[in-house]
């Protein structure tokens, strides 16, 4: 056999193994894929992808429960870049086979990027082998159908042993779990998972949140109680405990108008098109104005932007204006504008989004932008001004659609607050 023939056969074989098209793009298996981010401590954070064929290429979506985040996927030979829709967050991966890819997840940071190993395979389960019936060893404390669903009073214990309060809001359908965790600074968005025996497993990935929650039933408690571990990206693991409590409440972070202030903000910043926008502009005169304090790095801000954008389209004719004030990872205006543009495009935002030029990590972010406030503690925060430009309402308790009734209550409260001011 000649050398040329051998090389030709190797070429054909490699094309068969990789299942490539004539133009070199690897063919991916369509359907559900299960991916994971690998931590250095050996704990992997799993999540779900969905691959669909579209024309001569593919779409890849990140799936969290009922949410599907369509990514921008670019193929080149046996490589693929997967860009999350609204964050500085992407995957750089090699296509090993039609049913396997691997590479790195890269998330933009204020000083350096966060990087984690990433793998994904077609088919399988988010938590392999965890969805079966209770084992004999776990039978005594096995979680029964319906036992996990409901509200849980949670304590999350940091590595330094300080505690933060949270609410676990879980929905149980047979062996499937979903829901979210609410904290004073926001919610973990869409969690999905399962339970087996005395243990539960939940995870999420949205481009910023990369979270794994493991828990187990604590025996010999008068009320159902859980304990477990929480793993978030590359952060140190945190212990948590929870007791089922249908009446649990969460104390919000509090931001107020500073004592002695007239409560009338005044600012001028550039929007994404480079135009200077001032609160004193004619556009905002004699109108109820909502200031959305946000950042393009903030997953709960993504949910709030979706809500506010739709709300503005329905209500702008009633004398309501919204201004987004962005506190970005750095003071790099070009980087900030590029990242915020994704928000504007994704949610068809019609209200101005302004770059404050003040980094979210700046300890003087409040004094430099809104000195009328005591302190900007959480993102997002909504500040509502009356028709005279005076602050009348400050909300730090936005919870997104994954939280069910909490999201509904927030929307109702927000709309009622704006309506009251419109009627004055």
Do 273 and 240 share a structural domain?
Answer: no
Say if residue 228 is in the same domain as residue 365.
Answer: no
- Give the per-residue pLDDT at 11: 41
Tell whether 136 is covered by a domain.
no
Strands (E), 9-162: 31-38, 44-54, 57-64, 67-70, 72-76, 79-83, 89-97, 100-107, 114-122, 150-157
Write down the pLDDT at residue 420. Answer: 98
Note whether 69 and 50 are within 8 A (CB).
Answer: no
Based on the fold, state whether residues 213 and 286 are members of the same structural domain.
no
Rounded to 10 degrees, the C-alpha dihedral 382/384/389/390 comes to -100
Q: Is residue 329 part of a domain?
A: yes
Task: Judge whether 10 lies within some domain.
Answer: no
Q: Do 297 and 390 share a domain, yes or no?
A: yes
pLDDT at 15 over 60: no
Indicate the helix (H) or strand (E) that contains 200. Answer: strand 199-205
Residue 146 banded pLDDT, cuts 50, 70, 90: low
Would residue 345 count as lying in a domain? Answer: yes
Nearest CA to 350 out of 248, 272, 285, 422 is that of 272
pLDDT for 388: 98
Residue 174 lies in a domain: yes
The DSSP 8-state label assigned to residue 71 in this structure reads: -
Whether the CA torsion 34, 20, 207, 59 is positive or negative: it is negative
| pLDDT(140) > 90 | no
Calpha distance 16→298 (Å, rounded): 43
State residue 68's pLDDT score: 97
The whole domain housing 276 covers: 268-422
* Assigned domain for 278 exists: yes
* pLDDT at res. 10: 43
The predicted-structure confidence for 351-369, as pLDDT tens digits, reads as follows 999 999 999 999 999 999 9
Instruction: Tell me how far apart the alpha carbons of residues 397 and 379 are, in angstroms, rounded to a whole number.
Output: 9
Domain check: are 212 and 288 in the same one? no
pLDDT more than 90, % of the chain:
82
> Could you report the per-residue pLDDT of 178-206, keeping only the tens digit for each?
999 999 999 999 999 998 888 999 999 99
Burial level of 259, CB count in 10 A (0-12/13-18/19+)? exposed
User: Is residue 36 in some structural domain?
Assistant: yes
User: What CA–CA distance (Å, rounded) separates 10 from 149?
Assistant: 55
Phi and psi at 353, nearest 5°, equal -115, 115
Question: 108 and 70: one domain?
Answer: yes
CATH at residue 185: 2.40.128.120
Residues 281 and 382 grouped into a single domain: yes
Residues 360 and 307 in one domain: yes
Where residue 33 sits, what CATH number does that domain have? 2.40.160.90
| Interval 90-116 mean pLDDT | 97
pLDDT at residue 19 tops 50: no
- Domain total for the chain? 3
Q: What is d(CA 152, CA 415) in angstroms, rounded to the nearest whole number? A: 28
Q: Do 149 and 215 fall into the same domain?
A: yes
What is the pTM (predicted TM-score) of this model? 0.90
| CATH code assigned at 357 | 3.40.30.10
Asked if 238 and 345 sit in the same domain, the reply is no
Strand partners, 179: 170, 191
Per-residue pLDDT reduced to its tens digit, 391-415: 999 999 999 999 999 999 999 999 9
Calculate the CA 161 to chain-centre distance: 26
| 413 domain-assigned | yes
- pLDDT tens-digit map of 226-256: 999 999 999 999 999 999 999 999 999 999 9
Confidence of residue 147 (pLDDT cuts 50, 70, 90): confident
Q: Residue 137 pLDDT more than 60?
A: no
Confidence of residue 1 (pLDDT cuts 50, 70, 90): low
Mark whether 25 and 65 lie in a shared domain. Answer: yes
Same domain, 108 and 191: no
């Amino acid at each position: 056999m000649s050398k040329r023939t051998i090389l030709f056969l190797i070429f054909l074989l490699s094309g068969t193994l990789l299942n490539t098209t004539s133009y070199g793009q690897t063919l991916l298996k369509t359907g559900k894929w299960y991916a994971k981010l690998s931590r250095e401590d050996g704990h992997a954070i799993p999540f779900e992808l969905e691959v669909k064929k579209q024309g001569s290429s593919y779409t890849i979506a990140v799936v969290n429960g009922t949410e599907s985040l369509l990514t921008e996927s670019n193929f080149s030979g046996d490589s693929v870049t997967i860009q999350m829709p609204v964050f500085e967050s992407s995957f750089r991966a090699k296509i090993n086979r039609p049913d396997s890819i691997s590479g790195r997840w890269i998330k933009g940071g204020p000083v350096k990027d966060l990087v984690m190993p990433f793998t994904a395979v077609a088919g399988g389960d988010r938590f392999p082998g965890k969805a079966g019936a209770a084992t004999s060893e776990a039978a005594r404390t096995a979680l029964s159908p319906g036992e996990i669903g409901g509200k849980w009073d949670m304590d999350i214990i940091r590595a330094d042993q300080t505690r933060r309060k949270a609410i676990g809001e879980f929905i149980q359908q047979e062996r499937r779990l979903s829901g979210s965790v609410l904290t004073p600074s926001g919610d973990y968005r869409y969690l999905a998972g399962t339970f087996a025996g005395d243990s539960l497993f939940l995870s999420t990935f949205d481009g910023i949140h990369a979270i794994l929650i493991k828990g187990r039933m604590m025996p010999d408690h008068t009320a159902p109680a859980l304990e477990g571990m929480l793993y978030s990206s590359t952060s140190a693991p945190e212990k948590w405990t929870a007791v089922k409590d249908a009446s649990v409440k969460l104390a919000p972070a509090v931001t107020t108008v500073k004592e002695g202030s007239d409560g009338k903000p005044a600012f001028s910043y550039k929007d994404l098109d480079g135009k200077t926008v001032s609160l004193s502009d004619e556009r905002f005169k004699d109108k109820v104005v909502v200031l959305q304090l946000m950042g393009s790095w903030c997953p709960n801000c993504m949910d709030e932007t979706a809500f506010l954008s739709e709300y503005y389209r329905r209500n702008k004719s009633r004398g309501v204006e919204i201004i987004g004030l962005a506190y970005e990872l750095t003071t790099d205006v070009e980087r900030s504008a590029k990242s915020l543009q994704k928000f504007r495009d994704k949610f068809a935002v019609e209200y101005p989004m302004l770059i404050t030029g003040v980094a979210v990590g700046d300890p003087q972010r409040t004094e430099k932008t809104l000195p009328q406030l005591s302190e900007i503690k959480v993102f997002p925060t909504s500040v509502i001004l009356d028709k005279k430009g005076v602050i009348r309402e400050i909300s730090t308790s936005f919870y997104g659609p994954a939280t069910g009734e909490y999201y509904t209550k927030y929307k109702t409260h927000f709309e009622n607050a704006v309506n009251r001011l419109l009627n004055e």
